Amino acid sequence: MKFSGKGLSLSIRIGIGWLFLICGTNKLEAQDNQPPTHNHLLVEDNRVWTPYITNSPSSVALKTNILYGATLTPNLALEIGLGKKTTLEFGGGYNFYEPSSGKHWKHWLVQPEFRYWFCERFNGTFLGIHALGGEYNFAKINLPLAVFDDLKDYRYEGHYYGGGISIGYQWILGKRWNFEASVGAGYVRVHYDKYRCTSCGSAIDTGTKNYWGPTKATISLLFFL
């Protein structure tokens, strides 16, 4: 099957037009919902209009991942504006869950991410690249997409590190509130010690595993500082 040059050119034009339409719509929404300090302001001084930028509340945001919190893991992240279309997020969580049933879901995680925004920061679609690392102590639980097939019968503890890419979207809710959804995938290197029970002191196996798959999922609420 051959592709027509005219058809390809038309598709590119339509794609560019659609991107400008999305950016224009998002900017109009931002102007309606964000304070005037979000954009350039003009001040009249002897009939000469001079642009300037004030400190915007949209330069730093504190956020929590509601989806991650649903796993009984308290978590926070700080997202900082670097440029008009770039931000840097520092996030993490810590879970100390250890019920009397012997189940373990204890872990901590740090996950920094650099983001590029198609229209403007904190508004619309973004692409991200992230790193991750932490430690864990899991036992007698069932995890989706788990690295260990026999996690329900044994305890595993160790550390992990990796990285991946993500795509997401933010909606402006008000002057200081945003809502975000994103997904990411990548690679994780897992180091482990395997134990027969939750209180055993001697490992029966030690090794490493390679994981390819989802590395991030967020449904987050943001508050601009």
At 181-205, the pLDDT tens digits run 999 999 999 999 999 887 777 899 9
In one-letter notation, the amino acid at residue 18 is W
**What would the pLDDT profile of 60-75 be if each residue is shown by its tens digit?**
999 999 999 998 899 9
C-alpha distances in angstroms, 210 versus 48, 131, 161, 162, 186?
Answer: 62, 15, 10, 10, 11
Report the share of the chain in percent with pLDDT over 70.
73
pLDDT at residue 56 is higher than 80: no
pLDDT at 92 over 70: yes
Collapse the DSSP code of 85 into the 3-class scheme (helix H, G, I; strand E, B; otherwise coil) and give the result: coil
Of the spans 24-38, 41-55, 99-113, 183-197, which averages the highest pLDDT? 183-197
Q: Is 1 exposed, middle or buried (0-12, 13-18, 19+ CB in 10 A)?
A: exposed
Q: What is the arithmetic mean of pLDDT over 161-184?
A: 97
Could you tell me the sign of the dihedral formed by the alpha carbons of 81, 86, 88, 91, in that order? positive
State yes or no: pLDDT of 11 exceeds 70. no
Confidence check: pLDDT of 43 > 60: no
Does residue 125 contact residue 169 with C-beta atoms inside 8 Å? yes
**Environment class of residue 14 by beta-carbon count within 10 Å: exposed (0-12), middle (13-18) or buried (19+)?**
exposed
Nearest-angstrom CA–CA distance, 222 and 225: 10
Residue 28 predicted with pLDDT over 50? no
pLDDT confidence of 139, banded at 50, 70, 90?
Answer: confident
Q: What's the average model confidence in pLDDT over 195-224?
A: 91
pLDDT value at residue 9: 46
Summarize the confidence of residues 81-101 as an average pLDDT: 89
The residue ranking higher by pLDDT, 178 or 3, is: 178
